[in-house]
Amino acid sequence: MEAFIYDAVRTPRGRGKATGALHTVSPLELGATVLKGLEHRGAFSPDVVDEVIFGCVEAVDDQGANLARSAVLEAGWGDTVPGFMVARFCGSALDAVNSGAAKVMSGQADCIVAGGVEMNSLVPMLVGTGGPSVSDVFFNDRVMQTPQGVAADLIATLEGFSRTDVDAFSAASHQRAFEARRSGAFQRALVPVHDRLGRVLLTEDELVRNDVTLESLGKLKASFAESGQKLGFDATVRYRYPQVDRIDHVHHAGNSSGIADGASAVLIGNERVGRKLGLSPRARIVATASAASDPCIMLTAPVPAARKCLERAQLTVDDIDIFEVNEAFASVVLHFMRHMNLPHDKVNVVGGAIALGHPVGATGGMLVGTVVDELERRNAKRALVVMCTGLGMAVATIVERV
């Protein structure tokens, strides 16, 4: 049985700080916003939904206690729609989409809403959920885990990506995102966010700028040198990779993903539910995959995840029109392009998280919506979405336009 994408919505990405436009909204309200956005756009009755699946990285405090089911109730979808949460670090929402597709493909559900919620301005990364990566010294010594920024710098060092290389990629991401926003490329997916009094808080992505250049990025100080040098992680990396005599710390705030708030939702169903709702499918999910690699370098698993996904779909790189590789750091995407032998004009065609921001638990759903929109705008056929995650994992999804 096939899993079709009937619609995909997202909130604008808000700046993930106390000064951000969405900071005064609760994660519950954001989750309900995208659910109601789907309902109002699709003219469907929520009682056909078998499950709501949300991703969230820091599922504690206001983001805890099964936010998916809570958002269903907050959205006024009644008592009969269940929900559950998934967590795979930054890939959580993409895993939610893949889990929903698997339920539909296996005949265990007819209609799923999948996406995610994250408010970094309220629950900062690594503050809430803890876990062995934060608290267990013996575990970290055993797996030689490093902070993601140091891992990104390690990739740049091993691959020979210079500061100019990563900054040039970042500048292009900013330019593409600004042009995409200016041309209205994001408008179909966006659901404005209102406060409880009905006042509009945000209608467009808040982090996008038009003044980022290679020269302006060159003035920024490297962000992860102190973690590497003073906290000893450079020594850990050199022990794990003895061929490296020093780490080139090239990443900073301008070529790393922006901290953001946001929510996403994708309507997935079989052909039968489409007929029942009177909706035409926009795309279908062809294949999904996950993979893992060394947690010390951490961010290289998108390559094996993408290859596994392509193999399952019996496709090659040449069969994919656009690739969406989450811009956790510039070196992650540069590494992917090099090892998959891809030109930049097929990758992150409307910019990425460096320019738009990365509401970690929601981003995967946003990227699925982005590629569906872009396939339609470009009259193209297939896209591949892939995201690196903590502890050296990655998640991938291939989408085909209907």
| Cβ(239)–Cβ(82) below 8 Å | no
d(CA 236, CA 226): 14
- CA-based nearest residue to 96, from 43, 14, 20, 34: 34
Task: Spot the catalytic one: 174, 252, 335, 358.
Answer: 358
Q: Which long-range contacts (CB under 8 A, 24 or more apart) does 367-370 make?
A: 367/94, 367/324, 367/326, 368/5, 368/8, 368/94, 368/97, 368/264, 368/266, 368/397, 368/399, 369/8, 369/9, 369/10, 369/189, 369/264, 369/266, 370/186, 370/189, 370/324
d(CA 152, CA 64): 29
| Cβ(295)–Cβ(301) below 8 Å | no
Return the bridge partners of 15, or none: 260
In the DSSP assignment, the letter for residue 379 is T
Count of CB atoms situated within 10 Å of the CB of 210: 12
Q: Annotated catalytic, 309?
A: no
Q: Annotated catalytic, 90?
A: yes
Dihedral angle computed from the Cα positions of residues 393, 394, 395 and 401, in that order, rounded to the nearest 10 degrees: 180
Place of tokens 């990285």: 57
Paired tokens of 232:
């000893």
CA triple 107-113-114, angle to 5 deg: 100
Burial class (CB in 10 A: 0-12, 13-18, 19+), 234: buried
Task: Spot the catalytic one: 56, 90, 111, 296.
Answer: 90
CA triple 301-382-378, angle to 5 deg: 120
| Cβ(186)–Cβ(371) below 8 Å | no
Q: Annotated catalytic, 388?
A: yes
Active site residues: 90, 358, 388
